[in-house]
Amino acid sequence: MSSSDYHLHEIWDAGIVARMKYISTRGQTEPMSFSEAVMTGLARDGGLLLPESFPQVADKLAEWRSLSYCDLAFEVMKPFVDIPDADLRDLVDRSYATFRDPAVTPLKRVGDVHILELFHGPTLAFKDVALQFLGNLFEYQLERTQSHLNIVAATSGDTGSAAIYGVRGKERINIFVMHPKGRTSQIQERQMTTVLDANVFNLAVDGTFDDCQGILKQLFNDLSFRDRYCLGAVNSINWARVLAQVVYYFYATLQLGKSDGAETVRFCVPTGNFGDIFAGYVAARMGLPIGKLVLATNENDILTRFFTTGVYSQGSVNPTLSPSMDIQVASNFERYLYYHLNEDCSGVCAHMEAFAKGDGIRVPLRGGQVDPLFAAGTGTTADTLAAIKSCYADEGYLLDPHTAVGYHVAQQHLNADEPMVCLATAHPAKFSDAITQAIGEDLAHHPLLDALAGKPSRCEDMTADVDQLKAQVLKHVS
C-alpha cells in the first residue's frame, strides 16, 4: 500500500471524530488526517507537517493538575488525533508502562534548577517518551490496514536505539537506522547494534549525522521509491514524535504549580535538531504559561547563533562530549520558521531553497531579539565538564554531558519569579567516559548498559550516498 492510500478508510469505528487536519510548511500538500500524517512522515512537497491550528487549553490547566502522566498525555493528545478515545488510552497506557519510574518523567530539585528526568524508558534517553508511543501507534495503524512499513531513520545517538526498541520484533515493520560511524558513544552504538531481531538493520555511515539526515531526506523526496517500498519516518520530522514530547512540558509546569504555586515556568533545553524545544513552543502556543524557552547548544551552535543574531548559517560539525547535539542542520527548524514568517509557505520555500544552496537564512531582529519567548546560550566542552563536576560536588547529582550543557546555560537565565526546569535528556551511564573525565572516577553505570558488554552485534558499513541506502532497503525488503 502506498503512502497515498493511508486514508485508513477514513471511518474506522462508529462515532469517531475527525479532529484535526495537518498541513505542510511548504503549502503544496493537501491537508490530511493525523493517521495519514503519522504514516507520511515528511510531507510530499518536502516540507514538514503541522496541525492546521492549536487547541487552546489554558482554562483546563487547573483540572489537569491532579492527573497522572498517562491521563494527562491522553488529554493533551486527544484534540490532535483521529483515534477513538478508548484506543488512544490503551496506546498511551501501554507505551508508558515500559518506564521505570511511576511518574514517567519525574521532576527533581537540584540546586537552583529543577531537573526533568526524561530517561526512565527502555533505552535511558528522552527519545523513548516519543518512540515507545510511536512504535505502538505504527503497529496499531498497520493492523487496521493490514499493511507493512519500512522505517528509515538517521540518528546522532539516541533516536536510533529508542526507535529500534520501539518497533523490534513487530511483524509488520522493518527498521533501517543510519548512524555516523565512530561519532556516537560506544554505549549508544552497542544499544543499537546488539539488537539482532530479524526486522532491525543498523547502518554505519562514513560521515556526520548531517550527512545521514541529508540522504534520508533525499530518499523520502524520491516519491516513487517511497511509495513502492512503503517508507515511514521516526525522526522528529514525524509530527507524532513532537506531539508526545509536548506532554512533559505540561506535566512539569503543572507539578510546579501544585508544589510551588508557580504561575509561569522557564525551560532550558539542550538541543541539536530543534525537536525537543519545538515541543515546548507548541505547548506555549496551546496556552501553557512558559515564561522563557532557553535553548542550549554545544560548540555546534547554529541554533544559538540564529536566536542571538537572526542568522541561520551552516558551519562544520565539531565532535564533542555531547554527540547527540553535534548537528549543524536542525530538521525541525523549518516548523518554527513557518510560524516566525506568519505561516507564509512561499517564504518558507524561498528560505529553505536558499539554505539548501549554501546561503544563510536571515530574519530581522525585533527589539534586539528574534523572538521574546526564546533565549539561547552555548556550553563548550570545558563548560560541560565543569558543570558535571560542580553539580556532583555540590548537589551529589550526576549529569550526562547533554544535560550538563543545559545546566550550564540555565544558570545564565535564572529568574527569581519563574522556576527553571532543565530537561535531562539521557542517563549519565550512557556517557560514562565523559563522567570519568569530569570527575576522575568511573561512577556512571546502569545494569542495562553494563549487560551489553560482550554481546554479539550486527551492523553494515556504507558511504553517505542515497543509492547505497536504497540498495540496503532493497536487499532486505521483498
pTM of the model: 0.92
Q: Is residue 136 part of a domain?
A: no
Long-range contacts of 406-409 (CB under 8 A, 24+ apart): 406/268, 406/269, 406/270, 406/296, 406/379, 407/113, 407/268, 408/296, 408/377, 408/379, 408/383, 408/384, 409/268, 409/270, 409/294, 409/295, 409/296, 409/376, 409/377, 409/378, 409/379
Q: Is residue 158 part of a domain?
A: no
Domain count, the chain: 1
Range of the domain at 70: 1-124+239-450
Instruction: State residue 13's pLDDT score.
Output: 39
Q: Is residue 232 part of a domain?
A: no
- Rounded average pLDDT over 17-25: 84
Instruction: State residue 158's pLDDT score.
Output: 84
Instruction: State residue 199's pLDDT score.
Output: 97
Q: Is residue 309 part of a domain?
A: yes
Q: Is residue 129 part of a domain?
A: no
Whole-angstrom Cα distance, residue 104 to residue 399? 18
- Rounded average pLDDT over 223-236: 93
Catalytic residues: 127
Q: Is the pLDDT of residue 222 over 90?
A: yes
- Rounded average pLDDT over 443-457: 95
Q: Is residue 179 part of a domain?
A: no
Instruction: Retrieve residue 85's grid coordinates.
Output: 478515545
Q: Is residue 144 part of a domain?
A: no
Question: Domain of 4: which CATH number?
Answer: 3.40.50.1100
Instruction: State residue 18's pLDDT score.
Output: 53
Q: What is the pLDDT of residues 26-82, one digit of tens each?
A: 999 999 999 999 999 999 999 999 999 999 999 999 999 999 999 999 999 999 999
Q: Is residue 226 part of a domain?
A: no
DSSP, res 58: G
